[in-house]
Structure 1
Amino acid sequence: MTGGAFDLGPALLFCPADRPDRYAKAAERADAVILDLEDAVAPRDKPTARGALIDAALDVPSLDPSRVIVRVNALGTPDFDADMATLSQTDYRLIMLPKAESPKKVLRIDTRFEVIALCETARGIVAAEKLAAASNVVGLMWGAEDLVASLGGTSSRKPNGRYREVARAARSRVLLAAGAAGVAAIDAVHVDIADDRGLRAEAEDAAASGFSASACIHPGQVATIRAAYRPADDTLAWARGVLNAAQGERGVFRYEGRMIDEPVLRHARSVLARSGG
């Protein structure tokens, strides 16, 4: 987490909660797994999915709870209440809340749980700053397709595959809200699994812009996301060099022909953080 404890890694892989046969593989391939009780599970299969979560938590060895996010159903629905009752029987304590819109309602969630607020409606985007400031929120994620649907639109992307301006504005607002509150910002999934080039470009932009991680929907996307967030060798060498040089300096100084001040040093620290040190 930016300024906090969100350090799961850059590639967060969704896995349908009604497919327990995929849990371990998803966890092995990604930095963290998002077990999805919401959109990935048909209504008739949600009770089975909850049972699978409990069974997985009881298995030895089980999934590492610190690397598990559970996307629950929306607040105010019977499914949300059933999801939370289920999770209370496990050690999973990080939830992703879809269609988050009301900070007051988010704050009423059981205090044992931390929340990644998924801003994917017009109301959710407009409330991003207040959601990020809620004491139990550790991250924000945004969703493109649900957002455009909430506006009455039909697609978040142009024919060339690039996001429409409204989606880009929402993405930026969520990133800024997360950064202002010091919580993690998670970029939306790239739904075109075959478009590795587009995924790479979006993940590289996410890393350079300050996102903490990118969500993905297929194991084949993990390596691309990890590579995009990993600093290049020359960038890493520069970051280490400038931070070492800064130890003997006070205020602004020159390094390799460039004037270095505190914002530049913060960039260098971010590079080291993304490299793992």
Structure 2
Amino acid sequence: MSNWIPAGPAILFVPADRPDRFAKAAQRADMIILDLEDGCRPENRAEARRAIIDSQQSGDLDPERVIVRVNPVDSPEHAADLEMLADLRYDLVMLPKAESAAAAESLAGHRVIALIETPLGVLRADDVASADNVVAMFWGAEDLTAGLGGTASRFGEGEADPGTYRDVARHARARVQLAAAAFGRAALDSVHVDISDDDGLRSEALDAAALGYAATVCIHPGQVQTIRDAYRPSDEQIDWARRLLAAASEDGGAFSFEGQMVDAPLFRQAEAIARRADG
């Protein structure tokens, strides 16, 4: 079981070939992902690797709040990414298109956030989560949909529940979270790509928080506060959780609290609320 949890609920992607954005993004978000894959122009990747190395030498970024997204294991860029990782203090690595425990374990010496975004990856999510160095599971709706031959992960205008995920994406989301929970890994929710849809992002982040996700990943700084607000429990929830935990410290074991029997699952819910309040 991994003890890793993200520094906060809002994790922001930053193109690795835009070092001018690194420090500002780190100030805005709880953690940042320096992206060498989709967010980086292919012709800029060598320069981007140097920028990542330079960023740790400058000391502007906290290594515990930095994730480096490398290219997939079958990419011609992956070997150069591994060479770069050998020179880094940043040991949190996001592995895209993860499809096996072996792929994650090939990044020995690094804590791996496995990005599940292919049909095979979804079907093998439990195998990926079982790798000893995997600390979190993250799922990607858009690449998954493309891998299925689809064109949209969400319902559109004129369809049922516009803006919400289609069934196969919901299935993938659930399967990845279940694999994460089964192996004690943190679960990270997928990005909301429509940066103008603040209501949709809020609804999705509220759902993620209620389901036990540790964080939601985002692609624009303007999404950070919406995610933080959604993950923060209400004052009523915080008050309830603290009162329940105080009562538990006195009673121990299963007990009755305000007309409700409290056992281990309810106690853990109260602990989760208290952690989010304190965070």
Task: Tell me, in whole angstroms, the C-alpha distance in 1 between the residues paired with 2:231 and 2:253.
Answer: 30
How far did 1:3 drift?
A: 6.1
Structure 2, unaligned stretches of length 5 or more? 157-161
Task: Tell me, in whole angstroms, the C-alpha distance in 2 between the residues paired with 1:122 and 1:172.
Answer: 14
How far did 1:250 drift?
A: 4.2
SS in 1 for 2:153: coil
Q: CA RMSD in A?
A: 1.3
How far did 1:183 drift?
A: 0.6
Task: Tell me, in whole angstroms, the C-alpha distance in 1 between the residues paired with 2:179 and 2:275.
Answer: 21
How far did 1:272 drift?
A: 1.0
Task: Indicate the residue corresponding to 2:29 in structure 1.
Answer: 30
- The TM-score, its normalising length taken from structure 2, stands at 0.95
Counterparts of 1:1-40 in structure 2 under 5 Å?
4-40=3-39
Percent of counterpart pairs with the same letter?
Answer: 54
Task: Indicate the residue corresponding to 2:214 in structure 1.
Answer: 212
How far did 1:55 drift?
A: 1.4
Q: Deviations over 1:137-170 (max 9, x none)?
A: 0000000011111111111000111100000010
Shift of the 4–162 alpha-carbon distance from structure 1 to 2, 3 Å rule, reads: same
User: Which runs of at least 4 in structure 1 moved beyond 6 Å after TM superposition?
Assistant: none
- The TM-score, its normalising length taken from structure 1, stands at 0.96
Task: Indicate the residue corresponding to 1:152 in structure 2.
Answer: 149
How far did 1:276 drift?
A: 2.3
Task: Tell me, in whole angstroms, the C-alpha distance in 2 between the residues paired with 1:105 and 1:11.
Answer: 26
Q: Which moved more, 1:120-129 or 1:97-106?
A: 97-106
Task: Indicate the residue corresponding to 2:76 in structure 1.
Answer: 78
Task: Tell me, in whole angstroms, the C-alpha distance in 1 between the residues paired with 2:222 and 2:113.
Answer: 24
Task: Indicate the residue corresponding to 1:171 in structure 2.
Answer: 173
Task: Tell me, in whole angstroms, the C-alpha distance in 2 between the residues paired with 1:122 and 1:79.
Answer: 22
Given the alignment of the two structures, is residue 96 of structure 1 paired with residue 98 of structure 2, yes or no? no
Task: Tell me, in whole angstroms, the C-alpha distance in 1 between the residues paired with 2:46 and 2:153.
Answer: 32
Q: Which moved more, 1:63-72 or 1:81-90?
A: 81-90
Task: Indicate the residue corresponding to 1:261 in structure 2.
Answer: 263
Task: Indicate the residue corresponding to 1:248 in structure 2.
Answer: 250
2:37/2:71 contact within 8 Å kept: yes
Task: Tell me, in whole angstroms, the C-alpha distance in 1 between the residues paired with 2:165 and 2:250.
Answer: 45
Aligned residues: 274
